[in-house]
Amino acid sequence: MKNHAQLSQEFNANEPRVNWHDETLWWVRQKRDKAANTLPEWEQLREAASSIKYHTLSNLNDYLQQFEANAEQNGVTVHWAADAKEHNEIVHRILAAEGVNRIVKSKSMLTEECHLNPYLAEKGIDVIDTDLGERIVQLADEPPSHIVLPCIHKKKEEIGELFHEHLGTAKGEADPQVLTAAARVHLREKFLTRRAAITGVNFAIAETGEFVVCTNEGNADMGAHLADVHIACMGIEKLIPQRRHLSIYLRLLARSATGQPVTTYSSHFRRPRAGQQMHIVLVDNGRSTQLGREEFRNSLKCIRCGACMNTCPVYRRSGGHSYHTAIAGPIGAILAPNLDMKQYADLPFASTLCGSCSNVCPVKIDIHDQLYKWRQVLMKDGQGGAAKGLSMKAMNFTLSSPGVYRTAGKAGRWFLRNVPFVVNNPLNPWYKQRDMPEAPKQSFGEWYQQNRKK
Amino acid sequence: MTSREKILAAVKKNQPELAPMAEYIQPERAEDLVAKFAIVLDGIGGKAVMVQRMEEIRQHLQEHWLGKGRIVSMVPELRDLGEQPSEVDPHQFENVELAILPAHFAVAENSAVWVTEELLQQRVLPFITQNLAVIVRRERLVATMHHAYELIGNGDYGFGTFIAGPSKTADIEQSLVLGAHGSKSMTVFLL
């Protein structure tokens, strides 16, 4: 199992590609800034969004039951899944009961988190992802590398190659317009022939029992309105108390994600249409545990806009797949250790703690503080790894004795000046993608001794 | 213990003490809503057309769409321009070239129009059609989403959606392409 550092090293092997990835995401981040700056009330909106989410979490037990009662009154069947396995079993059970073995699915990071696609494949059910980016990574047999831009790591030529192989487009065709048109034809056929559709949920409203799905492509709607069975899968943290609160979140979501004033479609599903079955699966999968971790519970406010990824200097240069979890980037790095501290111990360390993620977060999650706090929890739990443990011990020894500290500093400066090849070589991890500093003639201590009397 | 009971018990045990929530009140801004709506719609790939009378919409649509393919019209005054959906099966709409729909209201800050099931008859209609024309009355323009939800209030609908421009994607190297799965164009007539 490779960790974040090893996986980013692979991503970094191709320098022009890393630069391209970096610049593309930074461009999206700039679009976000422009959109946010058009609203003078942006900061008040963030504050309100954060506060409503916190209130909801503090009363989640009641709101969940209120939502369930209202949804059932609307004619929707509500299911509860304690973990990923139960979620997948419930979905399969619904499909099996209807004798459905081919389905369409719109983007849902929850089903990625639960590994629903491979589970259903094993049961003989064919799943077609209908978001264009997700369909592309599905054809490439890869997971999404970004929650909003699933194939942001792929070049159009690579996508052209995939489409040539799977959809029969011309060899060498790489024009986004032509490729999208081919996907439109390919996916329309799926929408029209599949009897069941799975969608995610962006927001669910306790007061009315309805849920909202936001897309730019319209794929969730094409799937759901043509299918006999609509299954919506949601994490229990997606709830908000009242319908009017949507105004705040819909104003923040797309502006933060892509810089658009709103997604093309913000669809409110309340009742199944005549003759249709509608199911909602409420999934815990570690969320109630995170709710109990005081320092990390704010992470449950996340509305999955991806702004923290687009701005993160580490994400932009290491790629989404280096995070080896469904949700990459800064927010993923605080969600994943909650699920498995051992497996994801590397992720909170994959950050510069620059705070850019917290600054852009539309619901004001203290992301970089949580990354810092996770490091402490993980080190205490013995998940830091031997090298990190040893170097921290050496650091502790050096810093607690002024004599040792002075000698070490002197030795370091001498080596840098006289035998630079001892540190300027690939064995030194600090030398990777970075020049070592020029050694000063004297330390601050020496300078101070010399100048204090002047 | 069922999963439901297990989850609810864990949530109850782990949730923090009941916290109040900050209220948000949208400050009023004096702006020309019609102009704002048109500019934003243009920016997201749609087209706003200003008209004084229903007759102008009829002329515009006849000029641009007559003879191009199947038209479905859900606007009572423009029923003659196309058929009304009578089929129960939503799959029957796969070859609709143009759907003409009325909207309850529109939002200037993001150019979204609000439609619900009773205006659509068929939920899939605005998504499955190749092109979309929507009619909104100018006095039904509001400034922001806060005003929009004030209008929606506790209205009852089985399905409702905000539509802002044509279907689009930028999944291939962030190049914006209009017409992903849904309508390739959206014209909004402001009456």
- Give the chain B residue nearest A183 (alpha carbons): B180
Of all residues in chain B, the one with the smallest CA distance to A134 is: B171
Residues of B whose CB is below 8 A from A247: 144-146, 148-149
Measure B156 CA to nearest chain A CA, in Å. 9
What 8-state DSSP symbol labels residue B146? H
Q: Which tokens in the block code for residue A416?
A: 């840098």
Give the pLDDT confidence score for residue A300 in this predicted structure.
98
B136 forms bridges with which residues in the sheet?
B190
Whether residue B171 and residue A149 make contact (CB cut-off 8 A), yes or no, is yes
Question: Three-state SS for B38?
Answer: helix
CB contact under 8 A, B24 and A54: no
A-chain CB neighbours of B21 within 8 Å are: 48, 51-52, 54-56, 241
Question: Is the model's pLDDT at B8 over the cut of 90?
Answer: yes
Dihedral of the alpha carbons of A408, A412, A413, A416, in degrees to the nearest 10: 170
At position A93, the amino acid (one-letter code) is R
**CA A134, A137, A140: angle at the middle one, nearest 5?**
150
**What local confidence, expressed as pLDDT, does residue A423 receive?**
81
Q: Are B96 and B151 in contact (CB under 8 A)?
A: no
Q: What pLDDT is stored for residue A165 in this prediction?
A: 97
Cβ count near B32 (within 10 Å)? 11
pLDDT at B28 > cutoff 90: no
Please check whether residue A303 is in contact with residue A311, taking contact to mean a CB–CB distance below 8 angstroms: no
A69 touches chain B (CB under 8 A): no
Q: Is A103 on the interface with B (CB under 8 A)?
A: no
Strand partners, B131: B98, B185
Higher-pLDDT residue of B31, A77: A77
Q: Can you give the pLDDT at residue B88? A: 79
> In residues, how long is chain A?
454
Chain A closest CA to B153's CA: distance in Å?
Answer: 7
State the residue for tokens 């406010």.
A301
Distance CA A374, CA A35 (A): 32
Residues in chain A with CB shorter than 8 Å from the CB of B16 are 54, 57-58, 294, 297
Residues of A in contact with B23 (CB under 8 A): 48
Which one of A38, A221, A277 would you mutate to disrupt binding with B, by most B Cβ within 10 Å of its Cβ?
A221
Distances (CA, A) of A178 to A173, A184, A233: 8, 10, 32
Q: How far is CA A14 from CA A19, A74, A318, A319, B85, in A?
A: 9, 53, 11, 12, 55
Residue of A55, A93, A230, A264 to mutate, testing the B interface (most B Cβ within 10 Å of its Cβ): A264
CA angle (A212 as vertex; A199, A232 as ends), nearest 5: 30
Helix/strand/coil for B48 = strand
- What sign does the CA torsion over A118, A120, A123, A125 have? negative
pLDDT tens-digit profile of B84-142?
A: 887 779 999 999 999 999 999 999 999 999 999 999 999 999 999 999 999 999 999 99
User: Pick from A151, A221, A263: which is nearest to B127 by CB?
Assistant: A221
Q: Is the Cβ–Cβ distance between A138 and A163 less than 8 Å?
A: no
Q: Can you give the pLDDT of all 454 residues of chain A as single tens digits? A: 899 999 999 999 999 999 999 999 999 999 999 999 999 999 999 999 999 999 999 999 999 999 999 999 999 999 999 999 999 999 999 999 999 999 999 999 999 999 999 999 999 999 999 999 999 999 999 999 999 999 999 999 999 999 999 999 999 999 999 999 999 999 999 999 999 999 999 999 999 999 999 999 999 999 999 999 999 999 999 999 999 999 999 999 999 999 999 999 999 999 999 999 999 999 999 999 999 999 999 999 999 999 999 999 999 999 999 999 999 999 999 999 999 999 999 999 999 999 999 999 999 999 999 999 999 999 998 888 888 888 888 899 999 998 999 898 888 888 888 888 888 887 887 887 788 888 888 888 889 988 987 7
The answer, for A132 touching chain B at a CB cutoff of 8 Å, is yes
pLDDT band at residue B68 using 50, 70 and 90 as cut-offs: very high
Going by C-alpha positions, the residue among A131, A91, A33, A311 that lies closest to residue B180 is A131
Q: What are the pLDDT digits (tens) for A377-429? A: 999 988 888 888 888 888 999 999 989 998 988 888 888 888 888 888 878 87
The pLDDT assigned to B83 comes to 93
A25 touches A152 (CB < 8 A):
yes
C-beta pairs of A34-40 under 8 Å, 24+ apart in sequence? A34/A259, A35/A254, A35/A255, A35/A256, A35/A259, A35/A260, A35/A261, A36/A255, A36/A256, A39/A251, A39/A255, A40/B27
Q: CB-based contact (8 Å) between A48 and chain B?
A: yes
Asked if A63 and A206 count as a contact pair (C-beta separation under 8 A), the reply is yes
Q: Is A311 on the interface with B (CB under 8 A)?
A: no
Nearest to B3 among A81, A176, A270 (CB): A81
DSSP state of A274: T
A218–chain B Cβ distance below 8 A for any pair: yes
Note the pLDDT of residue B100.
98
Cβ partners under 8 Å of residue A105, min gap 6? A111, A116, A117, A127, A128, A129, A130, A197, A198, A199, A223
Dihedral Cα A384, A386, A388, A393, nearest 10 deg: 120
Euclidean distance between CA atoms B40 and B89, whole angstroms: 35
Q: How far is A329 from chain B (nearest CA, A)?
A: 19
**Which residue, among A179, A180, A192, A207, would best test binding to B if mutated, counting the most B CBs under 10 Å from its CB?**
A180
Task: Give, in order, the Cα–Cα distances in Å from A8 to each of A12, A320, A433, B1.
Answer: 6, 9, 12, 44
| pLDDT at residue A412 in the model | 86
Q: What is the DSSP letter of A170?
A: P
Q: What is the pLDDT of residue A386?
A: 81
Q: Which of B1, B6, B7, B13 to mutate to test the interface with A (most CBs of A within 10 A)?
A: B7
SS (H, E, C) A179-226: HHHHHHHHHHHHHHHCCEEEECCCEEECCCCCEEEEECCCHHHHHHHH
Mutate to test the interface with B, among A262, A270, A280, A364 (most CBs of B within 10 A): A262
Residue numbers in A near B160 (CB within 8 A): 267-268, 270
The whole-chain average pLDDT of chain B stands at: 96
Contact of A337 with chain B, judged by CB distance below 8 Å, is answered with: no
Residue B190: which H helix or E strand, with range? strand B185-190
Binding-face residues of A in 219-278 toward B, CB within 8 A = 219, 221-222, 225-226, 236, 241, 243-244, 246-248, 250-251, 258, 260-275
**Whole-angstrom distance, CA of residue A210 vs CA of residue A203:** 9
Q: With contact defined as beta carbons under 8 Å apart, do A136 and A150 qualify?
A: yes
A265 contact residues in B (CB cutoff 8 A): 127, 161-164, 167, 182
For A378-395, the DSSP string reads HHHTT-S-HHHHHHHHHH
A291 has a chain B CB within 8 A of its CB:
yes
Identify residue A70 by its one-letter amino acid code: N
Between CA B17 and CA B26, with CA B22 as vertex, the angle to 5 degrees is 165
Give the confidence band of B23 by pLDDT, cuts at 50, 70, 90.
confident
Q: Token pair of A330, please?
A: 């800064």
Give the pLDDT of residue A197. 98
Residue in B90, B107, B161 closest to A226 by CB: B90
